[in-house]
Amino acid sequence: MSAEYRVGIIGLGRMGAVIDDEMIGHPVYLVPYSHAAAFDHEARTTLVAGAAPSEESRARFQARYGDVRTYADYSQMLEEEDLDIVGVATHAPLHADATAAAARAGAKGILVTKPMAISLAECDRMMDVCRQHGTKLCIGHGRRWMKHYRFARKLIADGAVGEVREATAYCTHGLVHNVTHMFDILLMLLGEPIEWMTGYLEGEFDPPANLTHRRDASGGGLGRTKSGVAVHFAGTHDKVLGLDIDIVGTDGVLRCLYNGFGLELWEKDPHDRYNRLRKTEIEAPPESESQTTAAIKDLLQAIETGGETRSTGEDGRAALEMCIAIHESQRLGNQRIDFPVQNRELSVWCR
C-alpha cells in the first residue's frame, strides 16, 4: 500500500533529524525518536523534504534519509512540495512563524516540538491560524503518549489516592525549555486547569542589551487549580531529581518518579491506627513505541476522524502559561498571577 501523506520537516537539527543516535539503548526513550526518523518509519507517511539554513544539516539529512529534497528556506519547501503534514523542529522562537506558514500552505496536520512557542500571544496566533485553515495542531510533549503516565492518570481518576489535595513536582533546568514537559504532564495527571500561581526565578533571566526577550531560567512556585488542589513546584539547574511528581490525596500518595517509570502507590494501612501508609503493588504497562511514533499515529487519527490529539494547542499553551506566570510573578515582585495570564506578550527566549 502506498503512503497516504507527504511530509516535510522544518528544522533538521537534533529533534528534527539526529537525536536518534543519542537514544539507542536509552532506558526511557525508544527509537525512532526524531521527527524525520519517526515519519520515515510510519507506513502511512512519506518523508519527502526538509528545510534548514545550514548546508551541513541539509547534507546530513539527505545522507541519512535518502531520496529527499532539501531547502535553505522553508517557505520555498512549503510552496513547492504540496505537503500534507509538516514537522516543526526548529528552535522555539521560530515555532510560531513556521507553524502559521505551514497551515497557510495547506498542511492537514502539524507536529511542533516543545515548547509550543515563547509567548502566549504566539500560541494564540498559532491556534487561530490552524483553526482558520482546518489544520490539526499537535504539540510534542511526548510524555502524554507514554503508557506509564496514562496508567498513572487512570489510577488517580479511579480514586487510588482518594480526593486529590496537593501535587508537588520537581524538575531541572530552564522553565520553558525543560520544565514545560513537567507542567504538561502535571496538568494531565490532575485533569484540570490552574487558577493562579506565584513564583520565583534562579540565575540570569533579565535580557542582555541585544535581546528583547527574557531569558529562560530555572525557578519554583506554588499555586492552586480550579478545584483548590495545591500545586508546589521546585526546580533548579543542579538538583539530582529529574522529573518527579507526588500526587497526594485523602487516601494515599502516587509517586511518579524517574519520568514515570518509577511509579509507586502508597495507601493508608487500615490496620495502623496512626494512618501510616503502606506501599501497594502496581504494575504499569511497558512502553512499546517511541513517544514521537505514538504522536504521529495520534495526529494521523485526528486528521482522518476530525478529532483531537492527546496534546492539542490548548494543552501546549497551558503548559507554557505556567512558565510565563512564574516569569510574570518574578517581574512583578513575586505577586500572585491569576489565569488566564493577562500579559500575552511577555516572551522567554529558549533554544
159-188 burial, b at 16+ Cβ within 10 Å, e below that, comes to ebbeebebbbbbbbbbbbbbbbbbbbbbbb
**What is the per-residue pLDDT across 198-213, written as a single tens digit (0 to 9) for each?**
999 998 899 988 888 9
Are 313 and 139 within 8 A, CB to CB?
Answer: yes
- Whole-model pTM: value is 0.96
Class level of CATH domain 5-142+291-312? alpha beta
The number of angstroms, rounded, from the C-alpha of 292 to the middle of its chain's C-alpha atoms is: 11
Class level of CATH domain 144-286+319-338? alpha beta
Domain residue spans of the chain: 5-142+291-312, 144-286+319-338
pLDDT class of 240 with cuts at 50, 70, 90: low
User: How would you class 238 by CB atoms within 10 Å of its CB: exposed for 0-12, middle for 13-18, buried for 19 or more?
Assistant: exposed
Please give the average per-residue pLDDT across 271-284, as a whole number. Answer: 89
Residues with Cβ within 8 Å of 340's Cβ and at least 6 positions away in sequence, in order, are 120, 321
Model pLDDT, residue 253:
98
Are 158 and 249 within 8 A, CB to CB?
Answer: no
Please give the average per-residue pLDDT across 329-337, as a whole number. Answer: 97
Model pLDDT, residue 1:
39
